[in-house]
Structure 1
Amino acid sequence: MRNNERQVRATRPAEVFMMKKRTTITRRDFVRTAGAAAATFMIVPRHVVAGAGVAPPSERLNIAGVGVGGMGAGDIGAVATDNNIVALCDVDQNRSAETFKKFPNAKPYRDFRKLFDEMVKEIDAVIVATPDHCHAVAAMAAIRRGKHVYCEKPLAHSVYEVRQLMKAARQHKVVTQLGNQGHSYETIRLFCEWIWDGAIGSVHTIHAGCAAVNSGIDALPRLKEQHPVPPTLDWDLWLGPAQYRPYHPAYLPASWRGWVPFGNGTVGDWTCHVVDPVFWALDLGAPATIQAAVKDYDPKTQGDAFPKGEIITYEFPSKGKRGPVTLHWYSGTERIPRPKDMEEDDKNVETGAVVLGDKGTIIYGSHGAGGVRIIPQKKMDEYKRPEKTIPRVKEHHWDWLQAIRNGTRAGSDFASYGGPLTEIALLGVIAIRMAGTKLKWDATRMRFANSKKANQLLNHGCHGSPPCGGRPDSKALLSSCRVAINPSCHTPAHFNPASPP
């Protein structure tokens, strides 16, 4: 038996592990089929063969990281203790240097396609933490190879990419997790339990947002400057499926979030954190309408960058026993209004949400409803908290790893939760680019009922006039548009056919 293979014995759920002859499969086979046949297998408990605090061989997963500077460094560190980090990939040697140094036994790569070609048989799971515009190409490449995927938020750069990833995750029966880590916090569970308990009655309005300004507007005049590509950066691979453009330091290392070709602005960067609690508690689903109001922004001359602030209004229809809900999103220079129930010495909510019900108000911070409380404090003190009914999890990465090992669904999986949540953020991005127009959204058909132009924005990969005519529902889209969520390409030139020789 090779070092990277371990025996995992097939058992019925009620059986204990017994030392007798029976059919065996490799650890590799187990991990690959865990999602489809969880009840058939039992991983060796850590106390049986490894002692306290050490993972036995059959529990250790071989994990690769794509994009390992910034958030990726933290993600890799979070899963490294009881698993094997076997490969690391990043196009920026300078930004990712510390991560490569920390894991000297991991095979280094610049191009994730080469990583998958060479190590497809050695990898169980992949963490994707690239800039937004490359999330889909990397995640899809992993999923189609049967690898479990953890992807930083937002899941993708377009609604079309989200739908394709949701579909692929179902088809390939892999365990997925969106990187909105607050979804595994205690506070988001408390918030849901309070809402379901009727702590503030029927929720009708939400004011949510983030004070961060993710905008490239101030840097637009500087784009005419010429800068050499740093020797530690592979610019062509960094661009990935995006349209070719010359390198400029205004895009890196993290400011790409403020540029339409690469990021999703503040709404795309923070919705998956801030809206997550109400999305879960109220089972919001898809909005019926979306409209953005933007000041001091001209899409014709500034459309390459996101504005410094916007207010986006989503209208969610009645669902089940709850009535309609209106969500107002505030980005950057636009701030969440102060609720009337807030006490005089209390601070305004700058990043988080104010949730209004017909019997009261709840406020919370950004990740996982941090600092959640009923206001004013007197009502919080008088509130008799309900029993805890939602299962608690240790940590977000842990939740994903346990789901892989147990063949269960992670809390923010692509297909049923993380994808639909990301879609709300990306619909907001489209609303910004269609500012002033109230868009009517048909989630089932994945189209806007009243705007052909908005429909063309459902897939950022449609540059110019592709054969599919920009229609996101076209069967020709994958092959004709340059959003490369088809991993069959093998050369950087495929990513950037317009790049100079």
Structure 2
Amino acid sequence: MAMRRMQCLKPTQSHEPQCNGGRSVHDQKHDIPMKTKHGSTTRRDFLRTSTTAIATAMVVPAHVLGRGGEPPPSARLNIAGIGVGGMGAGDINAVAQGNNIVALCDVDTKHSAETFKKFPDAKQYRDFRKMFDEMEKSIDAVVVATPDHTHAVAAMAAIKRRKHVYCEKPLAHSVHEVRELMKAAREYKVVTQLGNQGHSFGSIRDFCEWIWDGAIGKVHTIHAGCSAVNSGIDQLERLKETHRVPDTLDWDLWLGPAQWRPYHPVYLPGAWRGWVPFGNGTVGDWVCHVVDPVFWALDLGAPKTICAQVKNYDFKTQGDAYPKGEIITFEFPAKGNRGPITMHWYSGTERIPRPPELEPDQKSVDTGAVVIGDKGTIMYGSHGAGGVRLIPQTRMDEYKRPPKTIPRAKEHHQDWLDAIRNGKKAGSDFSYGGPLTEIAMLGVIAIKLAGTKLEWDAENVRFTNCPEANQFINPPYRAGWTL
């Protein structure tokens, strides 16, 4: 099938079910030892204070720290994990130091076996609802690292019980879920963090400071993307096969709110990202990493239009799977002191154009972004604007870097833990990570209606020119599942 363009803006050439641990470890980062300052209240009183007064910081002397810089017993958090294989295993390891891992939940006991073995004192579950029924009063905070389609139901169950939540990216599987999680986090006054680890890196702060310093003038165009191919399209014919559910997997719980379908090994572990009912394709998997720097530095907010170009893909006949590649164009209106910005997103087989300023002997970016202003160009890699630099190198060499005005953060998980203890917001809490995720969710909808330039009304949460698109804002859950 030929590429569907219709009203699309042509790019300018220049540059994890409720307890499933099937997340990849491709974006796991190093754990950094935690050193914090804490009050001398009891753990329960301390956590109740931080939950009900997020804006109030605690100022206490350093001598109340536990041995080796770890929190004293009164400030240790009781943490539960939902989805503890793959990326979930890394998340649990990152929050374990100085805290109590009291419960672990995963529907796939084979995939999560190593984590269960590492924390033998944690009570084991398959269904997070049962975990909360039995242990609600013993849990302070929850890490959610399930496949995308069960992020929202797991995170919401925790939030409504006033548990602090660290949720892997993307935050949810639909625009509606994103909005509801943001609303609930505000209402229940819990400390949240999206798992886009690069938001805590120094390099993303460097990028913001350079942009605000006018290093490349007024930004007007962004080329961003990821070369990973998250697509089940080559496996569609295999869905006719019949397979026995492994004894180590609770398939009904793995499906969670997704509509019922027979088990098939092409979905898990890990490959679920390429399947529409469970994942969000490459755009959903990587926007929260790659777009994060420009989202912050340029205060992008919500796009006013979204349009996808897709080759050899028809959602009506191949809609169970994502395509192998797409180009999605987002138009952001002028805001504050900046003008309008056009962002082109490239997934999989569609690659970021090589910027003409880049030296011939230098490799272009496969996963990252090229940011173009009226006075120059910046190129960076994936997490937290890794490897950020002006191009060509002569521009970088000449540039006088501005002072570091943005406070540097600790490791991302520790940023969340410290925010809980200190009654503050984490760096990428749901009020920030939610709108960032929403950009990806809008891109997913555009793929399903490739060639149509969708006009988005963010305030009223609807598309104004395409009623067909509105059905994808809040897809129905399977009976028995609600937020």
TM-score by length of 2: 0.90
Q: Aligned residue for 1:181?
A: 197
Mapped partners of 1:287, 1:247: distance in 2: 37
Cross-structure match for 2:361: 345
Aligned to 1:95: 111
SS of corresponding position for 2:154: helix
**2:345 alignment partner in structure 1:** 329
* Structure 1, unaligned runs of 5 or more: 1-15, 18-23, 463-480, 487-501
TM-superposed deviation, 1:50: 2.5
Preserved CA contact (<8 Å) 2:54 2:191:
no
- Structure 1 residue 28 displacement after superposition: 1.6
Q: 1:355 touches 1:361 (CA, 8 Å); kept in 2? A: yes
Q: Which has the larger radius of gyration?
A: 1
Distance 1:38 1:296, change over 3 A: closer
Does structure 1 residue 397 correspond to structure 2 residue 413?
yes
Structure 1 residue 460 and structure 2 residue 475: aligned? Answer: yes
Distance (whole Å) between structure 2 residues aligned to residue 159 and residue 33 of structure 1: 32
RCO comparison, higher one (Cα < 8 Å, 6+): 2
2:146 corresponds to 1:130: yes
Query: Is residue 296 of structure 2 the alignment partner of residue 315 of structure 1?
Result: no
Provide the C-alpha distance between the structure 1 equivalents of 2:390 and 2:51, rounded to a whole number of angstroms: 39
Q: Secondary structure of 2:339's partner?
A: coil
Does 2:228 match 1:228? no
1:218 matched to 2:218? The reply is: no
Encode CA deviations 1:426-451: one digit per residue, 9 max, x unaligned: 00000000100000000000000011
Alignment check: 8 A CA contact 2:56 2:422 kept: no
| Amino acid aligned to 2:248 | T
Relative to 1, partners in 2 of residues 1:25 and 1:399: Cα closer, same or farther, differing over 3 Å?
closer
**Deviation per CA, 1:394-446, whole angstroms, max 9, x where unpaired?**
110011011101111111111x2000000000000000001000000000000
Matching of residue 434 in structure 1 with residue 431 in structure 2: no
SS at match of 1:257: helix
CA distance in 2, matches of 1:420, 1:443: 10
Q: How far off is 1:43 after superposition?
A: 7.5
Give the counterpart of 1:251 among 257, 267, 272. 267
| Pairing 1:484–2:477 present | no
Change (3 A) 1:43 1:241: farther
CA distance in 1, matches of 2:324, 2:95: 35
C-alpha distance in 2, partners of 1:357/1:305? 36
Verify the 8 A CA contact 2:51 2:162 in the aligned structure 1.
no
Contact 1:89–1:112 (8 Å) recurs in 2: yes
What is the DSSP-based 3-state SS (H/G/I as helix, E as strand, rest coil) of the residue aligned with 1:355? Answer: strand
1:169 and 2:205 aligned: no
Over the matched positions of the two proteins, sequence identity in percent amounts to: 76
Does residue 159 of the first structure (1) align with residue 175 of the second (2)? yes
SS at structure 2 position matched to 1:95: coil
Distance 1:271 1:161 in 2: 17
CA distance in 1, matches of 2:230, 2:55: 45
Deviations 1:330-373 (A, max 9, x none): 00000000111110001011000000000000000000000000
Counterpart check, 1:29 vs 2:45: yes
Equivalent position of 1:74 in the other structure: 90
Deviation at 1:300, TM superposition (A): 1.7
Deviation at 1:54, TM superposition (A): 2.8
Residue 378 of structure 1 is matched in structure 2 by 394
Distance apart, 1:51 and its partner CA? 3.0
Instruction: Summarize deviations over 1:264-299 as a string: whole Å, max 9, x none.
Output: 000000000000000000000000000000000011
- The alignment status of 1:150 with 2:147, answered yes or no, reads no
The 3 A distance-change label for structure 1 pair 206 and 108 is: same
| Residue of structure 1 aligned with 2:68, choices 45, 48, 52 | 52
> Displacement, 1:80?
0.5
- The aligned counterpart of 1:451 is 466
Structure 1 residues 255-274: aligned runs within 5 Å? 255-274=271-290
Q: Distance in 1 between matches of 2:289 and 2:372?
A: 19
Task: Report the Cα offset of residue 49 of structure 1.
Answer: 5.6
Code of the residue aligned with 1:484 in structure 2: it is W
404, 418, 435: which one aligns with 1:388: 404
1:408 to 424, 440, 452: 424
Shift, 1:214, TM fit: 0.3
Task: Report the equivalent of 1:491.
Answer: none
Query: 1:147–1:404: structure 2 CA closer, same or farther, 3 Å change rule?
Result: same
Please list the CA deviations of residues 466-489 of structure 1 after superposition, one character each: whole Å capped at 9, or x if unmatched. xxxxxxxxxxxxxxx759343xxx
Between the aligned partners of 1:239 and 1:146, the Cα distance in structure 2 is 25
Aligned residue pair count: 446
Going from structure 1 to structure 2, the CA distance change for 1:419 and 1:483 (only over 3 Å counts) comes to: farther
Residue matched to 2:437: 422
